[in-house]
Amino acid sequence: MAVIELTVNGRKQRTDAPPGLMLLDLLRDSLGLTGAKPGCGEGACGACTVLLDGRPVKSCITPAASARGKTVVTIEGLAPEGGLHPVQQAFLETEAYQCGYCTPGMILAAAALLDRTPRPADAAIRQALEGHICRCGSYPRIVEAVRLAAREARRD
Ligand code: FES
Ligand code: FES
């Protein structure tokens, strides 16, 4: 059993990790952060997406050991407590979800996109969300939400 130290949502964590443990299981089972969702389990649906040193990763196929010493942000920590990230606010305003299962991964991928590309073209939005499956088919409103978040961020 290895010990892994990492920073999750701004807090240092130290936790046991058996060999082969994936980051998704560490977050959900060891740290109780259930915002990242288990879906396909093979990197194909995006439901489990978190940010690892600012970049979106599919946590179901990311070994927990690879997060050692790094910074992880989950949907629970994207905005300061009690607040909403601009992408979360935009998802609410455009009702860019139905069941919400894909939503945490979509929001984190979009937030990472806007961090590096504040004025994304639609093609860039679609590319950032590639590999994120919405079984409810909310894609048009999801893209609209990202456009809205980008517009609102530019007004600040
Ligand atoms: S559960 Fe990780 S990509 Fe589908
Ligand atoms: S809102 Fe249901 S899977 Fe996307």
Do 54 and 113 sit in the same domain of this protein? no
Please tell me if the CB atom of residue 131 comes closer than 6 angstroms to any atom of ligand 1.
Answer: no
Do 95 and 55 sit in the same domain of this protein? no
User: 59, 77, 95 — which closes off a domain?
Assistant: 77
Atom of ligand 2 nearest to the CA of 99: 2
Q: Say yes or no to pLDDT of 156 above 70.
A: no
In tens, the pLDDT along 31-81 reads 999 999 999 999 999 999 999 999 999 999 999 999 999 999 999 999 998
Do 23 and 60 sit in the same domain of this protein? yes
Please tell me if the CB atom of residue 40 comes closer than 6 angstroms to any atom of ligand 1.
Answer: yes
pLDDT of residue 154: 74
Do 100 and 66 sit in the same domain of this protein? no
* Residue ranges making up the domain that contains 141: 86-155
> Which CATH number do you get for residue 58?
3.10.20.30
Atom of ligand 1 nearest to the CA of 46: 3
Do 98 and 36 sit in the same domain of this protein? no
Do 45 and 94 sit in the same domain of this protein? no
pLDDT of residue 153: 80
> Which CATH number do you get for residue 109?
1.10.150.120
In tens, the pLDDT along 78-93 reads 999 899 999 999 999 9
Do 9 and 70 sit in the same domain of this protein? yes
Neighbours of 109 (CB within 10 A): 23
Q: Say yes or no to pLDDT of 146 above 90.
A: yes
Please tell me if the CB atom of residue 102 comes closer than 6 angstroms to any atom of ligand 1.
Answer: no
Q: Say yes or no to pLDDT of 1 above 90.
A: no
Q: Say yes or no to pLDDT of 149 above 80.
A: yes
Cα–Cα nearest to 105, from 46, 43, 45, 38: 46
155 Cα–ligand 2 center, Å: 29
In tens, the pLDDT along 80-137 reads 989 999 999 999 999 999 999 999 999 999 999 999 999 999 999 999 999 999 999 9
pLDDT of residue 136: 97
What total of structural domains would you count in the chain?
A: 2
* Secondary structure, 3-state, the chain: CEEEEEEECCEEEEEEECCCCEHHHHHHHHCCCCCCCCCCCCCCCCCCEEEECCEEEECCCCEHHHHCCCEEECHHHCCCCCCCCHHHHHHHHHCCCCCCCCHHHHHHHHHHHHHHCCCCCHHHHHHHCCCCCCCCCCHHHHHHHHHHHHHHHHHC
pLDDT of residue 20: 95
Please tell me if the CB atom of residue 39 comes closer than 6 angstroms to any atom of ligand 1.
Answer: yes
pLDDT of residue 97: 97
pLDDT of residue 108: 98
